[in-house]
Amino acid sequence: MTTFAKSLGKSSGALAGPLLKWYDRSKRDLPWRVAAGHPDPYHVLVSEAMLQQTQVATVVPYFHRFLAALPTIADLAAADEQIVLRLWQGLGYYSRARNLRKAAIAVMQQHNGRMPSDVELLLTLPGVGRYTAGAIASLAYDRRAPILDGNVVRVLSRLDAIEHDPRSPAMQKRLWARAEEILPPKRAGDFNSALMELGATVCTPRNPQCLICPVAGQCLAYERQLQHVIPPPKKAKETPLLVRHVLCLRDSRGRFLVEQRPPTGRWAGMWQFITRPTEDFSDVLRTSTPARTALGTVRHALTHRRYEFHASAASFDGVTDSEKWRWASPDELHHLPFSRPHLKIRALAEAAFGCHG
């Protein structure tokens, strides 16, 4: 096992020059970056919230749509949560969207509409953790604030040839300290962006391109040819499987019966077809039971659990609106925020009934 003591002296201070030069030359043109100066802190907040657990290519069109609909932090703070969820639809991990709106409200109410530049103040905003606070402070305000995301963890682990599991609390603590220690006195935001960019494009999880890496000369993993085994892979863990039964009811006016999820928990506040843990839909189908047609199974994997949605459909008029469910016209169906698995089920149901979305 490598000790930190040896690696610390090697790369401190010597990283910034070549890394920033490389970044200036090679950085990708991303919509939340600006050619000169610093990006708008609101843009950083939105993009960083979207980029958590999500690929850049997926985020780009969402970012454009979000900013077109809600161009300022004041617009986001004033927006209805359902609008924000609809803009987020398909990105997953919807608590990010709800927290983003709450953070905008807090900025409007507690900071006169101006995003704080201080990490401690940023940390008081809903949904803003150490990483996002560091990103806003450094990228938008050029504060010397460290950041540590998956890309930075990998790059730092390799630069220092750390063979320990970087996910352990002790290593996280050490890596945060390291991320702060190597920050240059100027251009801290660009330096952080460059570290992330290096991890995303050169120092990739598999097949890092050490031959073209601007900091290969500072990299202990490369020197020791350990870059392919650092960081050690995550131990595969069996995640629990949750089975759900979904009933897509359509009435003779072409409307679908939908229900809103509770205000807390997974997919909170979003809409779905009638979904139950068993095939018992008797709370909805009180009067009679229509013949159902199987639509298929939709599988959805999250970090800690997997879902299997067994969907079926039926034509039925014997349900009236209630506090728990209501009929939605085809147009409404496409404006309500749905989770990704229910979007797939919606497509199956529309195909089965011959509707076009």
Sites of contact with ligand SF4 (CB under 6 A):
155, 158-159, 202-203, 208-210, 213, 215-216, 219, 221-222, 227
Contact between 286 and 314 under an 8 Å Cβ cutoff? The reply is: no
197 in active site: no
Closest to ligand SF4 by CB, 12 vs 209, is 209
Cis peptide before 231 (omega within 30 of 0): yes
In angstroms, the CA 346 to CA 351 distance is 8
Closest to ligand SF4 by CB, 188 vs 219, is 219
Q: Least distance from C-beta 21 to ligand SF4, angstroms?
A: 14
Closest to ligand SF4 by CB, 220 vs 274, is 220
For residue 70 the two structure tokens come to 């809600």
Closest to ligand SF4 by CB, 97 vs 221, is 221
Closest to ligand SF4 by CB, 229 vs 294, is 229
Q: Would you give the end-to-end CA distance of the chain in angstroms?
A: 57
- Looking at 48, 163, 238, 308, which residue is catalytic? 48
Q: Least distance from C-beta 177 to ligand SF4, angstroms?
A: 19
Q: Least distance from C-beta 133 to ligand SF4, angstroms?
A: 25
For residue 45 the two structure tokens come to 């907040």
Kindly report the backbone phi and psi dihedral angles of residue 206, in degrees, each rounded to the nearest multiple of 5, phi listed first. -105, 145
Q: Least distance from C-beta 176 to ligand SF4, angstroms?
A: 19
Closest to ligand SF4 by CB, 162 vs 258, is 162
Q: Least distance from C-beta 202 to ligand SF4, angstroms?
A: 5
Q: Least distance from C-beta 229 to ligand SF4, angstroms?
A: 11
Just list the catalytic residues. Answer: 48
